[in-house]
Structure 1
Amino acid sequence: MGSVRVRPQTGKLFLDFRYRGRRCREQTALDDTPANRKKARQVLERIEAEITLGSFDYARYFPESANIALFASTNGSTPDAGSTPAFEDFAETWFGEMRIQWRKSHADTVRLTLNKYLLPAFGEQEVGHITKADILSFRSTLAKVSGQKGEGLSATRINHIMTPLRMILNEAANRFEFTSPYHGIQSLRVPRTDVEPFTLDEVKAIIDHVRPDFRPYFVVRFFTGLRTSEVHGLQWQFVDFARRELLVRNALVKGELVYTKNDGSFRTVDLSEMVCDALREQYKATGKHAFVFCGRDGAPLNANNLTNRVWHPLLRHLGLRRRRPYQTRHTAATMWLAAGESPEWIARQMGHTTTEMLFRVYSRYVRNLTRQDGSAMERLLQANFGETQGTASRGAEEPAVSMEQEVSDDM
């Protein structure tokens, strides 16, 4: 079934139909108006009827078309028996089939990649006619695209853009039985980035100087290793004070509560006494709401607002190097390693299925690997933070100041 479509660049209508196994797109001089769409649709219906009856004369309808010579050269036979759909059509089919497997945030990212990069570059090409040279040329153009900060796209970003292209072409190759042009193309090498954990003294300074209503929040971040999305999606129903455990079941991604990042992230985190005390203090302020860390209205915190209005100003005040809040997760891992906890136990706390990433990312922090129950970390905290933190929180009679104070209402 053909369609009447419009070219955004010109605003003119064109006819999109299939003839002898090949997709044909023929431009018209008609502007995109309801009346012209109706007229073009009538012409398309006549064309498809004639194709069905075998009486279609390409030159009569499109005397200037380059397709006339192509169809004439086949002497009435079907040209290119191995013809394949246009990239745009197959990409839409692939996206519709795959999106049910993805989080909404990931589907939105893939959709943006298709619309912004892949469809403009490959939309009208048949998937079976895209070559390796086309792919490499496209990738080279991405390196010249400016990012949000005016710099060129990073190797990581380019690889993320190329991933849907690779998946689409490989799937098309399987379905239409041709060799994928992506075969042999390696991802760009990404420079290894070193983690930037805080020292124990820096952690102590942050916790001692942060606003009182945010102290429990940062204690939890520094000493549980939760991801930003996990701590912002944490709900009281998953905090077990009796067992001193925290169940990671959800994550807050772009304002939506979703399933954890992967099966390994669906985990149980052991809590030190210091973290338990911080959560008891937090319960006085937000216990009536579903989310552990939220504003007065019960809505979860906005990560960007918190970063810009609390986190970065605090680092500047303390004279500490500017770092993302995500470094609290790396800090937890390095402190556990420094305390001598078992890598297997740490991997479970972090939500890793194996210790491979632990050794690859934090290898220079591995020391005496003897403990496996969290007690070494407990002793480290008591030695550096003392008993005053816990007793102070247990002795407080008034609920903590609302976490929404001085932070915008849309957190």
Structure 2
Amino acid sequence: MRLYNRNGILYIDINGKRTSSKLQDTPTNRKLLENQYKNTEFYKKFNVKTKGKTVLEFCREVLEEKEKKLQPTTIRSYYSLFQSRIVPFFDKKYPHEITPAKIKDWYSTFKDRTTLNTCVTGILIPAFENAIIDGYIQATPFIVKFPTLKSDYEMKPFTLQEIDLILTYKENPYKHFLGVAFFTGARTGEILALEWKDIDFENKTITINKTRTLGITKNPKTKSSFRVIDMLPQCEFFLREQRKITGLSQNVFLRASGKIFSHSGDLAKGWHKLLKSLNLEKRSIYQTRHTFASNMLSNKEDPLWVSQMLGHKNLNITLEKYTKYLKVEKKGRKTTFLDDEYFSFAQN
């Protein structure tokens, strides 16, 4: 923008388009016009069109606000999605240029509904709401329904025979960790964050009140994740064996170097090598959680107890995920699955 005087009146030159401000050329008016250069009302008043802030600028403002409220690991995830999914499509575009049709095209590039939902509800919708408030647009283009997306993720729990094979393999570097995982259903980050003060051998319980991810030990995301769970005999076996290794340390599980694991990804390479050695299908270590739930429900364990062990918000979440494994509800825990005679690792 350039201001110039014509017959004592201030004119505005923007990209070669000259418009009269109808204001006298005075120091006060010049300062006023310069200060209001990026103000929407100013351009409406003098009929000078501008594109204003870009979509990405509005998104960055939303992310800056989220930084004040969210945990570091969560905000990293937001910024990662911003860079990988939002920037490529919305770069150098302005709010008024985005139409519902363009949003629909962008939706078609997603294969995962969770990722799409985070981008839209967590970043873009607040950004466009701010654009409306600031007067850059009058309505949001996000009136298009999410497409039907099928997740590539599939639950592939291990069988009892596979569990025993994994836990008896001599070259298994994570034997004790996996023993706890298979017999608690706890999330990988929750197990990595366990400290010996969380383990109560006398009352046979384990307190889960934190998780480990991206090198940070933090509180779990939901209230239901804070829980005290039963220490099953099989789990106790592996915890007592682990105590012989790291019992003098603060954390239950440590790397061979004696340092704490940063996140579940630290286990991936060794885990996949273990599965390959045992000729087992490659799958994520998170399947240990599904294994616990599916095997317990298949063996007629109380669904409510399973739900509490998993840290689900309510029973409906457990039943929705694992309905196909549910047979007949039974109060109390069935002993067949948890009989030490079944597992060879306990026969010493």
TM-score range, shorter chain: 0.7 to 0.9
The reply to whether residue 240 of structure 1 matches residue 240 of structure 2 is: no
Displacement after TM superposition at 1:75 (Å): 11
Structure-2 separation of matches of 1:240 and 1:70: 79
Displacement after TM superposition at 1:350 (Å): 0.4
Taking structure 1 as the reference length, the TM-score comes to: 0.68
Structure-2 separation of matches of 1:240 and 1:75: 68
Q: Which amino acid aligns with 1:389?
A: A
Displacement after TM superposition at 1:169 (Å): 4.2
SS of structure 2 residue aligned to 1:381: coil
Q: Which has the higher helix share?
A: 1
Displacement after TM superposition at 1:282 (Å): 0.8
For structure 2, list consecutive stretches of 5 or more residues without a partner in the other structure: 23-41
**Aligned match of 1:385:** 343
Displacement after TM superposition at 1:335 (Å): 1.6
The correspondence for 2:261, drawn from 289, 298, 301, is 301
Residue identity over aligned pairs, in percent, reads: 23
SS of structure 1 residue aligned to 2:197: helix
Q: Is the 8 A contact 1:139 1:162 kept in 2?
A: no
The correspondence for 1:366, drawn from 312, 326, 331, is 326
**Aligned match of 2:59:** 91
Please say which of residues 195-204 and 92-101 is displaced more in the overlay.
Answer: 92-101
SS of structure 2 residue aligned to 1:108: helix
The correspondence for 1:137, drawn from 96, 105, 111, is 105
Q: Is the 8 A contact 2:190 2:210 kept in 1?
A: yes
Distance 1:71 1:349, change over 3 A: farther
Distance 1:101 1:324, change over 3 A: same
Please say which of residues 187-196 and 292-301 is displaced more in the overlay.
Answer: 187-196
Distance 1:48 1:342, change over 3 A: farther
Taking structure 2 as the reference length, the TM-score comes to: 0.79
Distance 1:48 1:326, change over 3 A: farther
Q: RMSD of the alignment, in Å? A: 3.5
Distance 1:49 1:169, change over 3 A: same
SS of structure 2 residue aligned to 1:57: strand
**Aligned match of 1:278:** 238
Distance 1:331 1:238, change over 3 A: same
Q: Which amino acid aligns with 1:195?
A: M
For structure 1, list consecutive stretches of 5 or more residues without a partner in the other structure: 1-16, 18-46, 144-152, 393-411
**Aligned match of 2:273:** 313
Displacement after TM superposition at 1:281 (Å): 1.5
Displacement after TM superposition at 1:357 (Å): 2.4
Residue deviations 1:173-199 (CA, integer Å, cap 9, x gap): 673583321023324422475411111
Displacement after TM superposition at 1:220 (Å): 0.2
- How does 1:151-166 map onto structure 2 within 5 Å? 157-166=115-124
Displacement after TM superposition at 1:113 (Å): 2.6
The correspondence for 2:72, drawn from 104, 109, 124, is 104
SS of structure 2 residue aligned to 1:332: helix
Aligned residues: 324
Displacement after TM superposition at 1:213 (Å): 5.9
Displacement after TM superposition at 1:154 (Å): 5.2
**Aligned match of 1:58:** 13
Displacement after TM superposition at 1:117 (Å): 3.8
The correspondence for 1:114, drawn from 74, 77, 82, is 82
Q: Which amino acid aligns with 2:346?
A: Q
